[in-house]
Structure 1
Amino acid sequence: MSRLHVVSGKGGTGKTTVAAALALALATEGRRTLLVEVEGRQGIAQLFETEALPYEERKIAVGPASEGAAPWGASGAPSAGDPARGGGGRRAGGEVHALAIDAERALLDYLQMFYKLGSAGRALKKLGAIDFATTIAPGLRDVLLTGKACEAVRRKDKNGKFVYDAVVMDAPPTGRITRFLNVNDEVAGLAKIGPIHNQAQAVMRVLKSPETAVHLVTLLEEMPVQETADGVEELRAAGIPVGGIVINMTRPALLDNGDLDIAARDARGGVAKALSQAGLGGARRGGLAERLIDPLLEQAREHAERVELERAEHAELTALGLPTYELELLPEGVDLAGLYHLARDLRKQGPI
């Protein structure tokens, strides 16, 4: 099982939501997960309906109950007395901690870890040297972000056990995910010796090992699917393990195959008959039934075309040879209860 789950996807596909749901899904039976944000958008705090995350690891939720354990409420989310809300209630499930990584603070950690600068590092911050360093060397920011996440993956307690059973990273979009993860390879090549070289190599050992899996989030639409396929190809070429594909915001099938075939062609007679049987009167000129026929046929044709497109895009994703997971579109939007609903759906579909 992978321990570092990197979640990426084209903008608008819901990658932050999927990352949060995955962190919840992995936090089961006492397991601890860390949900990491690297883009500074505070999307995790918004999803979990909490205040902005500081640069520290903070418990924000508990995992959904396992089968046979004490149930959650009908909504699927913890009630006001549960640990996820800061109360003292007890429920089955593990813990979800969250961290919003700040590149500047991560650099101070780095300087302290390898160079023991202490107060000198804080002085550098006051002088603006850290901002200067991350600005003139944009790749340094990605080195710090990935390094902090990998440190959480490797961290152990005093008993030699991993502090976190899994780390989930809400990563940059698919278009730059390979460069983001592969930046330490470039750094290791530039710095041939010393602590920077050693740190970069240590990070890449994690990112290119079975401990890591990059999951790509997509919609059943042409552009997200094409970007997903391109992302898979780039990740494979870089030697970074690809996990699965999460098809987000899927829609229920409203018509079976037979009805879809009918909807794809003109079926005025059948629609008129059905309206008449529904008590809306015959299809006389100007009558209610007659006015409904064309709009109904147009909606049916649009739905049939949409289903045909989605099936074609689904086939493209299947051809990539990766596990796929599907999450339904939540009509009311994604609130905390919806997040737990998605987490349960992920768990039902098997390990990810």
Structure 2
Amino acid sequence: MSRLQVVSGKGGTGKTTVAAALALALATEGKRTLLVEVEGRQGIAQLFETEALPYEERKIAVAPGGGEVYALAIDPELALLDYLQMFYKLGSAGRALKKLGAIDFATTIAPGVRDVLLTGKACEAVRRKDKAGRFVYDYVVMDAPPTGRITRFLNVNDEVAGLARIGPIHNQAQAVMRVLKSPETAVHLVTLLEEMPVQETADGIAELRAARLPVGRVIVNMVRPRLLDAADLDLARTVPHSDLARSLSAAGLGGAHHGRPAERLVAPLLAQADEYAERYALEHEQRAALGELGLPLHELPLLAEGMDLAGLYELATELRKQGTT
């Protein structure tokens, strides 16, 4: 298993939910995972029903078997102060730069600096060891930017290493890329069974492969239950309306005591069946397109009760059942 699990996906596909469920799944049986947020949305805190995350690693959940999930919301400004202290020992001078607004300038204006800091902080957590020489975290899961930005986000250190030929910046960028372009990392793409997310997933995978970044799995999120199969749909299209009306009446649906004859229920039911058939065909087509990508494919169900902490644990269990951990 790759120790850095990067989760990306088109906006609206639920990538933060999948990242959180994956962190829980990986922490099962006594493991320790760190769930990293890089977009400043506090989505992790909302999912785990906790207060907003500070710029520090904080335990937010316990997994089955005694494992632990920690979380970190990376603040680019504070990460830059850490960076300046680590490599240049600026100390109070770094804090003075923050007061002058130089830190904010560097993280919002200077090209690529923000992404360098975010990826660098995550990779530092991957490499960190305790005094006994053991990794502090068994796994680091990153809730990463959307598919359209993921390749540039992960590859920015390559550009920085090329610009800064020597010195600590060059060395840091190279160290980060040694993690990101190795088997230690896997980039997973979250999608829905819809045309646009599937196409963006395919494009994202092509870009990641072109940049020689390690692609992991495709996770289809919010999959609706399969109510009818192809044979049932064919039957719905061919059954005589009168037969269907009689069956409804025999089942106690419709009739005078309901104030609505069974015959009047037939057309709405068949319209729903047609709508379901259209969606069924589309989902079948998108599954086939995802299958052609040549990657492990997993599906997570749409939770009827909506997403809450119990649902997150349910998705984590499903991920483990499907062999993603």
Q: TM-score, normalized by length of structure 1?
A: 0.89
- Structure 1 match to 2:43: 43
Question: Residue type of the partner of 1:37?
Answer: E
Evaluate the alpha carbon distance shift between residue 270 and residue 178 of structure 1 in structure 2; reply closer, same or farther with a 3 A threshold. farther
| CA displacement at 1:331 relative to structure 2 | 1.1
- Structure 1 match to 2:4: 4
Aligned residues: 323
- Structure 2 match to 1:343: 316
- Structure 2 match to 1:14: 14
Alignment of 1:146-295 (within 5 A): 146-264=119-237, 267-280=240-253, 288-295=261-268
User: SS state of the match for residue 36, structure 1?
Assistant: strand
- Structure 2 match to 1:34: 34
| CA displacement at 1:217 relative to structure 2 | 0.4
Residue pair 1:265, 1:301 contacting (<8 A) in 2 also: no
- Structure 2 match to 1:138: 111
Evaluate the alpha carbon distance shift between residue 134 and residue 287 of structure 1 in structure 2; reply closer, same or farther with a 3 A threshold. closer
Question: Residue type of the partner of 1:21?
Answer: A
| CA displacement at 1:211 relative to structure 2 | 0.4
- The one-character-per-residue Cα deviations of 1:117-151 (angstroms, maximum 9, x if unpaired) are 01110111011111111222131000000000000
User: SS state of the match for residue 151, structure 1?
Assistant: helix
Matched, 1:103 2:57: no
Structure 1 stretch 294-303 or stretch 129-138: which is displaced more? 129-138
Evaluate the alpha carbon distance shift between residue 266 and residue 278 of structure 1 in structure 2; reply closer, same or farther with a 3 A threshold. closer
Question: Residue type of the partner of 1:296?
Answer: L
Residue pair 1:263, 1:304 contacting (<8 A) in 2 also: no
Question: Residue type of the partner of 1:35?
Answer: L
User: SS state of the match for residue 163, structure 1?
Assistant: coil
Evaluate the alpha carbon distance shift between residue 263 and residue 137 of structure 1 in structure 2; reply closer, same or farther with a 3 A threshold. farther
Question: Residue type of the partner of 2:41?
Answer: R
Residue pair 2:242, 2:263 contacting (<8 A) in 1 also: no
Counterpart CA distance in 1 for 2:32 and 2:23 is 9
Q: Which runs of 5+ in 2 are unaligned?
A: none
User: SS state of the match for residue 176, structure 1?
Assistant: helix
Matched, 1:120 2:96: no
Counterpart CA distance in 2 for 1:281 and 1:246 is 42
Residue pair 1:264, 1:304 contacting (<8 A) in 2 also: no
Residue pair 1:9, 1:228 contacting (<8 A) in 2 also: yes
Question: Residue type of the partner of 1:200?
Answer: A
Residue pair 1:156, 1:162 contacting (<8 A) in 2 also: yes
Evaluate the alpha carbon distance shift between residue 265 and residue 308 of structure 1 in structure 2; reply closer, same or farther with a 3 A threshold. farther
User: SS state of the match for residue 23, structure 2?
Assistant: helix
Residue pair 1:15, 1:170 contacting (<8 A) in 2 also: yes
Residue pair 1:152, 1:164 contacting (<8 A) in 2 also: yes
Question: Residue type of the partner of 1:159?
Answer: A
Residue pair 2:246, 2:262 contacting (<8 A) in 1 also: no
| CA displacement at 1:261 relative to structure 2 | 1.5
| CA displacement at 1:277 relative to structure 2 | 2.0
User: SS state of the match for residue 321, structure 1?
Assistant: coil
Q: 2:283 aligns with which of 305, 310, 313?
A: 310
Structure 1 stretch 267-276 or stretch 188-197: which is displaced more? 267-276
User: SS state of the match for residue 288, structure 1?
Assistant: coil
| CA displacement at 1:274 relative to structure 2 | 1.7
- Structure 2 match to 1:320: 293
- The one-character-per-residue Cα deviations of 1:173-209 (angstroms, maximum 9, x if unpaired) are 0011000000001111111111111111110110000
- Structure 2 match to 1:334: 307
Counterpart CA distance in 2 for 1:264 and 1:188 is 62
Residue pair 1:268, 1:297 contacting (<8 A) in 2 also: no
Evaluate the alpha carbon distance shift between residue 130 and residue 298 of structure 1 in structure 2; reply closer, same or farther with a 3 A threshold. same
Counterpart CA distance in 2 for 1:103 and 1:267 is 65
Q: Percent identity?
A: 80
| CA displacement at 1:287 relative to structure 2 | 5.2
User: SS state of the match for residue 138, structure 1?
Assistant: coil
- Structure 1 match to 2:55: 55
Counterpart CA distance in 1 for 2:283 and 2:318 is 20
Question: Residue type of the partner of 1:295?
Answer: P
| CA displacement at 1:113 relative to structure 2 | 0.5
User: SS state of the match for residue 97, structure 1?
Assistant: strand
- The one-character-per-residue Cα deviations of 1:138-173 (angstroms, maximum 9, x if unpaired) are 310000000000000000000110000000000000
Q: 1:93 aligns with which of 42, 66, 78?
A: 66
Structure 1 stretch 11-20 or stretch 134-143: which is displaced more? 134-143
**What is the aligned-residue RMSD (CA, Å)?**
1.5
